[in-house]
A and B are shown apart, each in its own frame.
Chain A
Amino acid sequence: KAGVTQTPRYLIKTRGQQVTLSCSPISGHRSVSWYQQTPGQGLQFLFEYFSETQRNKGNFPGRFSGRQFSNSRSEMNVSTLELGDSALYLCASSLAIRTEAFFGQGTRLTVV
């Protein structure tokens, strides 16, 4: 069974640009969550989607947004990139909103 797939694995962007990251969950999983991981703050929750609806949202500015498609695949978008947005962005897949979360390998975003 294939795991959680995140693309791209690495990205380099310039301040002010926007970026879109993609996540394909485990087959049959309907919930997708996004997390930001930095050395200073660790793993922080961004948002969670289930059946194309955002169910929960963490404490991040509105520049961070996401969506989920009917096939459960999810994208997150960061607009007006700042240097502090440089991080590993992780997607987690769950069977439903109240079950174990399995992570992908992440997308490492560098903002220069």
Chain B
Amino acid sequence: QKEVEQDPGPLSVPEGAIVSLNCTYSNSAFQYFMWYRQYSRKGPELLMYTYSSGNKEDGRFTAQVDKSSKYISLFIRDSQPSDSATYLCAMSGLAGGGADGLTFGKGTHLIIQP
């Protein structure tokens, strides 16, 4: 079993829809959870950074962490074609990295249809 599981997609939704992206993990030592967006041929862009369980909202983005279920989510409201990208979840046992740095999911390819 991989440490972090993420559905690769592609996930295709119409413009304006609410998008739900998810990751599950197995390492209970993970405390810090991140979501990155990566456009083709670009580096990952940090969207959300959260600690432990709970919700965090930033504009159209909401990150949720449920440590008891080892499950994290990213919600995108009012999705736009410019949101089309690969979304990567990442996590670590220490903020910013630890013995193994950040552990990433494989990414979900999201397509927003105009």
> Which residues of A approach B to under 8 Å, CB–CB?
4, 6, 31, 33, 35, 42-48, 56, 58, 90, 92, 94, 96-106, 108
Q: A56–B43 contact, CB under 8 A? A: no
| B45 partner residues in chain A, CB cutoff 8 A | 103
> Which residues of B approach A to under 8 Å, CB–CB?
34, 36, 41-46, 49, 88, 90, 94-107
Task: State the majority secondary structure of interface residues on B.
Answer: loop
Q: B106–A31 contact, CB under 8 A? A: no
Q: A90–B100 contact, CB under 8 A? A: no
Cβ distance B39 to chain A, nearest Cβ, rounded Å: 10
Q: B107–A42 contact, CB under 8 A? A: yes
Q: B43–A100 contact, CB under 8 A? A: no
Instruction: Look across to chain B and name the residue whose beta carbon is closest to the beta carbon of A108.
Output: B41
Q: A96–B100 contact, CB under 8 A? A: no
Q: A45–B43 contact, CB under 8 A? A: no
Cβ distance B9 to chain A, nearest Cβ, rounded Å: 14
Q: B94–A98 contact, CB under 8 A? A: yes
Q: B95–A99 contact, CB under 8 A? A: yes
Q: A97–B101 contact, CB under 8 A? A: no
Q: How far is the CA of A106 from the CA of B41 in the complex (A)?
A: 9
Q: How far is the CA of A103 from the CA of B36 in the complex (A)?
A: 10
